Amino acid sequence: MTRLLLIGPPGAGKGTQAARLAEAYLIPAISTGDIFRSNVKNETELGKKAKAYMDAGDNVPDSLTNDLIRHRLAEPDAQAGFLLDGYPRTEDQVRELDDFLEGHGAALDLVIELVADPDVVVARLRKRASEQGRSDDDETVVRHRLDVYRQQTEPLIDVYDARRVLVRVDALGSIDDVTARIVRALADRGVPQP
Ligand code: AMP
């Protein structure tokens, strides 16, 4: 049973690494951003509520996000562990996740921080904007997302560090190198690959 969380600024490569780690550790990668995007695409009620926040680069309100993740974590595939990508993003979400996990007699094993320089992530996101056309990858929105990250999400790193579950991994370099670094860091902290 492995419960992991990937945290880091937009553009650090969380989505890419989450997909690889999910395969390597046989757990589902759960990305609130992906779930929101698919709801927007399918024009669900949740998608309609979330869209304006996402397009502006703001966090979707905690009330919507917490509800969504509670349902997702209750699904059968998440019972054997999971890798969270992009959740929690606020202190309120940390409390919500703590409550949920405690209610199931569980806790996060490790939190992986992908460490990346802001200039590098802006350049990466500019590239993604031209390749994938994501509506929130426009330059001004990207800068705003980084500010939102700094204000609302970065403080969570200290929270998890104080709990002694934080591992820091340099997010620069090739995709393979970063994955290898994460796998090594997890093994060093007692989370081996299955
Ligand atoms: P991401 O794919 O993680 O960069 O998320 C894309 C967008 O989805 C964010 O800019 C937010 O608008 C929204 N979003 C994703 N995860 C969360 C979350 N945990 N809390 C609030 N908003 C979120």
CA of 24 to the centre of ligand 1 (A): 24
- pLDDT band with cut points at 50, 70 and 90 for residue 118: confident
pLDDT higher than 80, residue 21: yes
Residue among 172, 78, 174, 193 nearest 185 (CA): 193
Verify whether ligand 1 is closer than 6 Å to residue 39 (CB atom): no
145 given a catalytic annotation: yes
Mutate to test the pocket of ligand 1, among 40, 54, 73, 140 (most ligand atoms within 8 A of CB): 54
The span from the CA of 79 to the CA of 68, in Å, is: 16
153: CB partners within 8 A, 6+ apart: 7, 89, 90
Structure confidence by residue, pLDDT tens digits, 59-107: 999 999 999 999 999 999 999 899 999 999 999 999 999 999 999 999 9
Which residue among 51, 72, 89, 181 is the active-site one?
A: 89
pLDDT digits (tens, 9 = 90+) for 132-185: 877 677 788 888 999 999 999 999 999 999 999 999 999 999 999 999 999 999
Atom of ligand 1 nearest to the CA of 148: 10
pLDDT tens digits, 30-65? 999 999 999 999 999 999 999 999 999 999 999 999
Q: pLDDT tens digit string along 124-141?
A: 888 887 788 776 777 888
* Ligand 1 proximity of 153 Cβ (cutoff 6 Å): no
- Taking the CB of residue 3, how many other CB atoms lie within 10 A of it? 21
Tokens of residue 69, six digits: 């993740």
